[in-house]
A and B are shown apart, each in its own frame.
Chain A
Amino acid sequence: MLAFIIRRLLQSILVMLAVALVSFGLFRFIGDPIHNMVGQEATAAEREQLRQDLGLNDPVPLQFARFVGNALRGEFGLSYRMARPVTDVIMERLPATLELALISGIGALALGIALGVYTALRRDGWLSQFIMSASLIGVSLPIFLIGILLIYVFAVELQVLPAFGRGETVRIGWWTTGLLTESGLKSLIMPAITLGLYQLTLIMRLVRAEMLEVLRTDYIKFARARGLSDRAVHFGHALKNTLLPVITIAGLQIGSIIAFAIVTETVFQWPGVGLLFITAIQFVDIPVMAAYLVLIALIFVVINLIVDLLYFAVDPRLRVQRSGRGH
């Protein structure tokens, strides 16, 4: 078990280094930050001096080595755009993204499972048919379009929900939360739906398929033969056995919710790290981009590790196989 964790951690470090290297290779193609950093009156000599000061004239491998060295000490330098430490800026923005991801993830999971079970049990009901057809929207419409449609209907036409931003926030230590104020909660609704809709339909379809599969198995027939109530059969036996793959998928999806919040955050001007990243790309703010990509890689790596460990803990067959190989 310990060896497994250590091996996975070592692999994770390699993954992180690879991400950092690839992103550094890409930065050369994004453009030159100097133009954005000085006014139009700056002379060629002044531009060259700034480029020198920022170390942009150094070869890419050297810039990379310097970046990794600083990153290991938790230093990502100063944002070119805001002249503030990158770590501070990201920590300020992280709560917004995590709250949005968490709420939309939980919403997608809860609704996805409920609707999945419902559509599996009432396979031919008209409501199930409707839900299944409607779920195609979630899969096929691009996120930004859903967001803009929601804004048009609920902000511009009905004027019941705010079109942008996070509303009032409350500060708890270094964390800021919008979950404790009315405007914060109202602001959360549309971005959470936009971000979670795809995951919701994915989970719903997965639960439905798994549930249908399980309902055909022998032990469900035996359970019915024993005269157990529908409720006990559906939720006590069938759903329980459906959830294992759902948990795996949901775990992995949390990573992508955080990473792909970029589009939702841009549409709703949600002040999270995704929006920060987009602004950083436009400005060629290399320190912010590098730190963001490393952070996202870290989140993915950690979630994957946890999922692997959960598998290890939940599925007894894995343990048997591993110990068997050990002998």
Chain B
Amino acid sequence: MRMSKIAASLALASMLACGSALAETLRWSSAGDSLTMDPHAQNEGPTHVLSHQVYDTLVFRDQEMRLQPRLATEWYISPDDSSVWEFKLREGVSYHNGNPFTADDVVFSINRAKHDNSDMKGLLTTVVEVSKVDDYTVRMRTDGPNPLLPNNLTNLFIMDREWAEANNVTLPQNFKGGEETHAVRNANGTGPFRLVSREPDVRTELVRNDEYWGRDVFPMEVSRIIHTPISSAATRAAALLSGEIDFLLDPPVQDLERLNNARGLVVRSAPENRTIFLGMQMGLPELRTSDVKGKNPFADKRVREAMNIAINRDAIQRVVMRGQSVPAGIVMAPFVDGYSADIDVVPAVDVNRAKALLSEAGYPNGFTVTLACSNDRYINDEAICQAVTGMFGQIGVRVRLDARSRSIHFAELQRGELDFYLLGWGVPTMDSHYVFHYLFETRSERGGSWNHTGYSNAEADALIDAMTREVDADKRAEMVSSVWSMVQDDIVYLPIHHQMLNWAMKDNIDFPVQSENYPYFKLLKYNK
């Protein structure tokens, strides 16, 4: 009798312990919500965040930014043909509806993501053919050797072909049709969590997929996830302080100290994969917003150098960013391939030398120019621009500031209407080539789509093109390094800083910041 009582209470105690370990609900918030459940329709951060919980990719980047196996267990360049990548797929994986995962799904998904309607097609332009070798092997042929293909696959989600066909969503949503497709609000992935309910912009609920292939590989301590976006920054912080949410992806910068000091909360930080910088139009014969007529001051490297050493990056970090940034001398984040601390040298402030350089270039009294800035895209973007406007004033460059909403700023930038502008750049492929291709290559049909500086360097262009096909890692690294020294020497951009990422959470949550800003909730652990 006595024994059975003890046994019963022991059993009860262990049940309770198990119960608390098994049923952890995570309530979290962020400013924006995912735009769609269709994983190929939008190439956008908050959308990928949700897709990463429900869908799997072939490979992913862990919290240290290392490429890790996911649905692919192995990947290598084919020994017979350097233009072919082979992926070995994980066996015994099934979708949330029970369908098995096979090579057919990968072929289908890559082709779906390559379709014109897809927003992911830009990452797959080099892929010419995807084919199935057997049920668990896939080959991707590129238009030449592409040693970096796996880097482009970290946000390419794998869908179930059978499900897509049954629900008539074999193509990503487009806007011409004017119809909402099934995949916009429904999902059938292989991911660690299943979609239970979704009201866009209001509430999304996921539960743990107990059949997940990585159930024992990852902590998987969260059993239920409830996401409620909160657009107002003050309310978002208040919701965390009042205990209504457990995790906040984007705490307001001005509240970080308060949140970190609050009882039971902690803010974790890491450098973000995004660098903030200024671009100067140096290709035009005359600037549109300057009082200098007949010539373009930015075309003179001495002027660009003067501007570069006029910026007090430490002051911006201290005053504008309240310590939440890393002053930069180069426009790529520290963990991108090709980065080294030797080239990320923050230029020392030297107002006298800047003035001397301007006089030498023929502008002893400086000149005027308009700086265009977004005011709702990057952390404190408008304040950064106000700060540099004052700093340029010290060397006689009279800057008029035009701060406006991102939808106006980027539209004008894309139309090439800006003389002097603020831009931030992240590198999803984690490779220097991505930076070169979009920011430094001569603007043309095939590249330089974000190079609005008019910078054109044939020698650099040739190297940028050649490095896409170079399979020898050492030779390639050398190419990357020589392009960096060319563009650093030419002072194409004025780097300001690398942004910091902050995640705020209850202090019993152990969840390091992932620098792409993708919280993989399967990796979240609780301090016991």
Residue among A38, A40, A269 making CB contact with B230, cutoff 8 Å: A269
Interface check B98, CB cutoff 8 A: no
Are B405 and A31 in touch, CB under 8 angstroms?
Answer: yes
CB-defined contacts of A32 to chain B, threshold 8 Å: 407-408, 410-411, 414
Interface check B178, CB cutoff 8 A: yes
Are A163 and B242 in touch, CB under 8 angstroms?
Answer: yes
Are B119 and A53 in touch, CB under 8 angstroms?
Answer: no
Interface check A106, CB cutoff 8 A: no
Stretch at the interface among A77-85, A229-237, A308-316: A77-85
CB-defined contacts of B179 to chain A, threshold 8 Å: 78
Interface check A99, CB cutoff 8 A: no
Residue among B38, B178, B414, B449 making CB contact with A77, cutoff 8 Å: B178
CB-defined contacts of A268 to chain B, threshold 8 Å: 235
Most chain B beta-carbon contacts within 10 A, residue among A33, A35, A38, A278: A35
A43 with B122, Cβ < 8 A, contacts A151-B238, A269-B231 known:
yes
Interface check B293, CB cutoff 8 A: no
Min Cβ gap A101→B in Å is 18
Are B235 and A78 in touch, CB under 8 angstroms?
Answer: no
Q: Which residue of B lies closest to A271 (CB)?
A: B202
Quick one: which of A41-88 are within 8 Å of B by CB?
A: 41-47, 50, 53-54, 77-78, 80-85, 88
Are A39 and B407 in touch, CB under 8 angstroms?
Answer: no
A164 with B244, Cβ < 8 A, contacts A54-B175, A78-B178, A266-B231 known:
yes
Q: Which residue of B lies closest to A77 (CB)?
A: B178
Interface check A275, CB cutoff 8 A: yes
A163 with B175, Cβ < 8 A, contacts A279-B201, A283-B407 known:
no
Stretch at the interface among A16-24, A152-160, A244-252: A152-160
Are B43 and A35 in touch, CB under 8 angstroms?
Answer: no
Are A41 and B407 in touch, CB under 8 angstroms?
Answer: no
Residue among A37, A162, A271 making CB contact with B199, cutoff 8 Å: A271
Are A39 and B119 in touch, CB under 8 angstroms?
Answer: yes
Interface mask (B184-199 → A, CB under 8 Å = 1, otherwise 0):
1100000000000001
CB-defined contacts of B178 to chain A, threshold 8 Å: 77-78, 85
Min Cβ gap B326→A in Å is 22
Q: How far is the CA of A50 from the CA of B36 in the complex (A)?
A: 18
Chain B interface residue count, Cβ-Cβ cutoff 8 angstroms: 52
Residue among B123, B176, B231, B405 making CB contact with A275, cutoff 8 Å: B231
Interface mask (B235-275 → A, CB under 8 Å = 1, otherwise 0):
10011011110000000000000000000000000000000
CB-defined contacts of A30 to chain B, threshold 8 Å: 405, 407-408
Min Cβ gap A35→B in Å is 4
Residue among A43, A88, A279, A284 making CB contact with B407, cutoff 8 Å: A284
Q: Which residue of A lies closest to B413 (CB)?
A: A35
Interface check A34, CB cutoff 8 A: yes
Interface check B445, CB cutoff 8 A: yes
Q: Which residue of B lies closest to A30 (CB)?
A: B407
Q: How far is the CA of A47 from the CA of B415 in the complex (A)?
A: 11
Residue ranges of A at the interface with B (Cβ–Cβ < 8 Å): 30-47, 50, 53-54, 77-78, 80-85, 88-89, 92, 148, 151-152, 155-156, 159, 162-166, 266-269, 271, 275-276, 278-279, 282-284
Query: Could you give 22 example pairs across A and B, Cβ below 8 Å?
Result: A32-B408, A32-B411, A34-B411, A37-B119, A38-B43, A39-B42, A40-B438, A42-B119, A43-B122, A43-B445, A155-B239, A155-B242, A155-B244, A156-B242, A162-B242, A163-B242, A164-B230, A165-B202, A269-B229, A275-B231, A283-B407, A284-B407
